[in-house]
Amino acid sequence: MTSPIPTRQPLQLPQGQRLLLHSCCAPCSGELMEAFVESGIDYTIFFYNPNIHPLKEYELRKQENIRFAEKNGVPFIDADYDTDAWFARAKGMENEPERGIRCTMCFDMRFERTALYAHEHGFPVITSSLGISRWKNMEQINDCGHRAAAPYPGLVYWDYNWRKNGGSQRMIEISKREHFYQQEYCGCVYSLRDTNQHRRTQGRERIKLGVLYYGDTPESANTNSTSGVIPTETTETTETTD
């Protein structure tokens, strides 16, 4: 028997009246978005995730986030898909493990752009949905957030623990209710490569894009497939040569 999900507690911004939320995807940001609405927090979504690869996966994740933002009447800032800059910064880190220095670089890059936009547009507080995922190192994420905000006087990174008080459970419930697209790897080409390699060792199929949605049964996920298997050259090679 599962325990009941705790009731949300009211939230209060650490300072100011406006919040810029860096969103990595709809499933992770859904709980934060609904919590902000309940607490009467004025916030805007900032979508800057140049790590997500390939482009089809990027569009799947972004469009789900746009759909939920529009449903809730939340402003959505669609930043550049700056993949060339991301691959340039990742050069030499292609074989680093998850939660290693490549992930730190990736968080730094996304938070730096978020902090710059906040500074230029009068947002006194930034935060991110990245930390709600149990697959992520929250301390690593928060360090990057604080580092990005530090150069701008008056800008604060809000390092709230979004997992607590039932946040992680509500994230899943919201994702099922909204039938969000369920990504099966972190986002970058190296995560996709490593996840597929791990699946092969377990005799499992390679990741398919656009197939799995929260609330689906395995059977319905299979019948909903329109993308097919990711080609070998996409999952096994990188675009960082030269």
Mark the binding-site residues, compressed into ranges: 24-25, 103, 106
**Residue list, annotated binding site for [4Fe-4S] cluster:** 24-25, 103, 106
Give the separation between CA 19 and CA 231, rounded to whole angstroms. 40
Is 157 strand, coil or helix?
A: strand
Buried b (16+ CB within 10 A) or exposed e, 170-182: bbbebbeebebbb
Verify cis geometry, omega within 30 degrees of 0, for the bond prior to 27. no
Decide: 45 and 74 in contact? Cβ < 8 Å. Answer: yes
Helix (H) or strand (E) holding 121: helix 101-121
Other C-beta atoms within 10 Å of 64: how many? Answer: 23
Query: Under DSSP, is residue 159 helix (H, G, I), strand (E, B) or coil?
Result: coil
Residue 241 has which token pair?
A: 């040569």
